[in-house]
Amino acid sequence: MTSSMNDDFARLLSLKDTMTPWALRAVATLGVPDLLADGELGVAELARRTGVVPDALHRVLRLLTARGVFTEPTPGVFAPTTLSRLLESDHRPMSLRPWLDLDGAIGRGDRACVHILEALRTGLPVYERVYGRPVWEDLASDPALTASFDAAMATRATALAPAVATAYDWPSAHHVLDVGGGTGTVLAELLRTHPHLRGTLLDRAPAVTAARTSWGATAEGRRCAFTPGSFFDALPRGADVILLVNVIHDWADEHAVAILRRCAEALPPRGRVLLVEHVRDGDPGLLELDLLMLLVYGGRERDAADFRELGERAGLRLGGVAEVGGGLSVLEFLL
């Protein structure tokens, strides 16, 4: 082989790697980074604490050490790195552990992705084929899965909330309805940053209950209504801003339009609908997420023209797009 062929061969081999992603998920699920948070530990002790076979764990840790996730200062002894710190449960502003936990809702979706060929042949999500029911129905059937999903969303919202709270003209707003807002992390930050605002949090009953328990008694909570409900049903009226953070990308176009129509129905004449979403631009990470949305949720990532079309079908016009960081943008829609 020529040198360039060797380089291409090596690159393709690295792209086809299946072991590293699953090894990473395995140690996150077992909590190995948490165990190493205070310093190095031997593989035998790590295996004892996680309830796995030492030799098998050693082989996983050797691979991840070669990838830079851990170090091995002495044979059989492993220590943390800046990469493994991101997998610690209490890492701030965002822990990646809930996103890689194979026992949680996100990991359950990841495991369905091995059936990608089925999605290519049907154009439909494969989650239902694997687990016997659509993803949202499956999550709703198991409180532990629901809690793990909400926890993952909350970690992302914690990292995102300060940017959302400063990336828009919130002083001109009065009442924010956070639709599909999970446990209310973003809404709580908005109310904390802008004391003149009132809020309404709308999501599934378990998420709303968790939000009320977590921050309902705070100053922000006393300015917030906690309302269980579905964004496919009529929305509460009275808010001049309706906020949806990473909601629309979960849904195919017809469902996305239905959600936006409900928002349009609930808006006062000069009200605004704000979407916080990725705007697809060719970034490889976003293209990977787009494929995941197909395989698990039946949704998709969209470009600005796609969002404009969705809005028009729902009776809304796109007024502007502003970046908030982390690859996300605020898209403002008006009646």
Active-site hit among 91, 175, 196, 249: 249
Q: Which of 318, 334, 325, 327 is nearest to 279 (CA)?
A: 327
Residue 135 dihedral angles phi and psi, to the nearest 5°: -60, -45
Where does the chain show beta strands of DSSP type E? 41-42, 70-74, 77-80, 175-179, 198-203, 224-228, 241-245, 272-278, 317-325, 328-334
Amino acid, single-letter form, for residue 233: D
Task: Show the beta-strand stretches assigned E in 208-316.
Answer: 224-228, 241-245, 272-278
Q: Angle CA(185)–CA(188)–CA(192) in degrees, nearest 5? A: 140
Q: Tokens at residue 263, please?
A: 């928002």
Beta-carbon contacts of residue 55 (< 8 Å; ≥ 6 apart): none
Concerning whether 249 is annotated as a catalytic residue, the answer is yes
Annotated active-site positions, please? 249
